[in-house]
Structure 1
C-alpha cells in the first residue's frame, strides 16, 4: 500500500469519525460543547487542516493554531475588543467590558470587577460577548489578548481546578486525585486527538489547559492583528499590566473617573480563582519542576506557545 493510498484511507476514516461526532454533539448544550456555526469548523476546513497536519507534522509537540473555543468581549463605543483566554484574567475581562458598556447598571446591581460574574445582568445586556471573528473585524481599532507564561498558566489552573475545585467535585481533572502527571498525560492525549480532528467535544479541563495559541481565532496571520499584554507572576509585573491596560483605555477615550475606579479596584482585589503567591501554588510548583515526567509532558504541550508568543522557554532545547 503506497503512502498516498494510506493517507487517503486515513483521511476517509477521519471524515467518518467527524460526521458521527457532529451528529451527536450538535444536539448537545451549545455552552458545553464546542460545535458552533463557524466556517472554521466546517467539514471542508477541518479536513483540510487535518490533511495538512498529517502530511507535514511528525513532531511530538502539540501543534499551534488549532481551531478551538474562542469567546470575545467588545465595546463598540470605545472601538475595543478583547479575546478571553481561560486562566488569563478572563473573568476580569468579562466584567471590565460589561462595566464599560453598562456602567450604571453594572454598579447598581453590586457587581465587582474581580468577582465571578453575577446573573443580575445578562451577558446579552452587557455586550456582544460572543461576537465571532474579532481577529479579522476592522470595527475595532484595538484587539487585546492577555498572555502569560504557559507553564505558570497551567500551574495556576491545576491548583485552582485540580486541587481547590476537586475537593468538592472529585470528577474534576479526570479523577486524577491531584496527580499532576495523570492530568498531563490525559491532556496530552486529548490535545493530540483535538489537533487531529478526532475529538470535537471539549471538556472543562480542555478549556482551561489548552495552549494559548488555540484561542482567539489565532493563525499565522490573524495573530498579527492583536495587541498582547503580558501578565506576570509577581505583584510588580501584574501592576504594570494593569497600568498598560489603563493607558489603552485612556487612548480610546475612556474618561479619567472610570479609569481611576477600574485601576483602584483591580489594584486592591484579585479574583477568587487567583492562585498567585499562595503557599500551595509555591509547593506544587516546586514539585512540578523537580518531576522529569511532568516537565517532559509540559514541554510537549506548551513548547509551541513559548515559540509563538516569543517567551523564554524553561525547557532544554535539543
Structure 2
C-alpha cells in the first residue's frame, strides 16, 4: 500500500513541476511560488539496538529526544537503570550511548529481519514546535525575532539553495536542520516504504497511541516485557522541559498559521502528501489542473 502511495506521490510531484501551476487572485491568475521539494538527501541520524535488530532515525522536532532515550535504553540497559535515566530527560543529560560507534552507525548491509522505525509529526505542528523553541526561546532564527513570516521566508530561501545544490558534504545548518521537511531525513529518498512510520503528537492521548504501536514493534523484535513497560510508563508520565504544546504562545502561533496559507504551504506542502497527515489547506491549482492530477482530493484529502 505504501509503495502504491509513494508512486502516486512521485507522479503528482512530477506533474506539479511539468505544468504551469496557478491560482485565482480576484479576476487574474497568479503563479504559485515553487514549494520546497520532497526527498532531498539532507540529514541522516540513525541509532541502532543490534541485539533486537532495531534501527531508528532522529527527525528534529519530531520527538527526537524521546527516540534517543528509548534507543539508549535498548542499547545499554544496565547503564540506563544504574544511572536512573528517564525517557523525559533532555538534550542536556549525558548519554554515553551517543559516543558509541556501533550505536550511531548501523551495520551495512542491514540484516534481514531488522525493523526500522521513525516517529513522525504533523508537519505544521512540528514547525510550530521548531519556531517556539529555536526562534522564540533560543532566538536563533536569523534577525527575524518572533516574526513568523520572516522566519518562513528565510528558512525557505535557505532550503531552496540546499535543494538546488546539495551534495551531502556540507555542514548542516542549525536552523535548516530543524526546519527541513521530514522527507529530507533518514534516507527516505531511497527506501521510505521500508520504514515503520509512527505518527506521534504532543498531547497525552497521541503519545499513548504512538507508544502502544511502538510497543508492538518492540515485542515483535524480542524486547523483554520489563523494558517495554519502562517505555510505556516513562513516556506517559511527563514532558521534557522545552515542551511547548500547552503554551499560550503555541496557541497564538497556530492561530497565525491558520490565517496564512502562504505559511501553511511554502515549506511543508509535500510533507502532507508523503506522510499520513491531513490538513485543511487550499489546493493551489485551478479546476482544470486539479483534474489533471488524478483525483488528488480522493487520494490525499483537500
Bucket of the pairwise TM-score, normalised by the shorter protein: 0.7 to 0.9
Q: 1:301 to 1:253 in 2, by over 3 A?
A: same
Are 2:61 and 1:87 aligned? Answer: yes
User: Aligned to 1:212, which of 182, 193, 215?
Assistant: 182
Within a 5 Å distance, the mapping from 1:246-261 to structure 2 comes to 246-261=215-230
Q: Secondary structure of the residue that 2:57 maps to in structure 1? A: strand
Residue in structure 2 matching 1:179, options 140, 147, 165: 147
Report if the CA contact (8 A) 1:173-1:205 is conserved: yes
Where has structure 1 moved over 6 Å in runs of 4 or more?
Answer: 55-59
Alignment partner of 1:190 is 2:164: no
Q: Are the equivalent residues in 2 in contact too, given 1:71–1:131 (CA < 8 A)?
A: no
Q: Which has the higher helix share?
A: 1
Q: Secondary structure at the match of 2:215?
A: helix
User: Is the Cα–Cα contact under 8 Å of residues 74 and 128 in structure 1 kept in the other structure?
Assistant: yes
Give RMSD over aligned pairs: 2.4
| Residues 1:97 and 2:71 aligned together | yes
- Does structure 2 retain, via aligned residues, the 8 Å contact 1:70–1:217? yes
Per-residue deviation, 1:218:
1.0
Aligned match of 2:173: 203
- Per the normalisation by structure 2, the TM-score is 0.77
- Provide the rounded CA distance (Å) in 2 between the counterparts of 1:185 and 1:247: 41
Q: 1:256 to 1:191 in 2, by over 3 A?
A: same
**Counterpart in 2 of 1:225?**
194
Matched with 2:288 is: none
Change (3 A) 1:201 1:127: closer
Structure 2 unaligned regions, length at least 5: 1-13, 21-32, 286-302
Contact 1:213 1:305 in 2 (8 A): yes
User: Matches of residues 1-318 of structure 1 in structure 2 within 5 Å?
Assistant: 60-117=34-91, 118-119=93-94, 121-125=96-100, 127-131=102-106, 137-139=110-112, 141-166=114-139, 172-197=140-165, 200-219=170-189, 221-290=190-259, 292=260, 295-317=261-283, 318=285
Question: Does the Cα contact within 8 Å between 2:204 and 2:236 map onto a contact in 1?
Answer: no
- Pair 1:270–1:132, CA change in 2 (3 A): farther
Change in 2 beyond 3 A, CA 1:141/1:180: same
Q: Distance in 1 between matches of 2:107 and 2:247?
A: 36
Post-superposition CA distance 1:260-301 (Å, at most 9, x none)? 1221111101222321122221122112322x3xx3133021
Corresponding residue pairs, total: 254
1:158 partner SS: helix
Are the aligned partners of 2:63 and 2:119 in contact in 1 as well (CA < 8 Å)? yes
Contact 1:106 / 1:121 at 8 angstroms: preserved in 2?
Answer: no
Question: CA distance change for structure 1 residues 126 and 246 in 2, over 3 Å: closer, same or farther?
Answer: farther
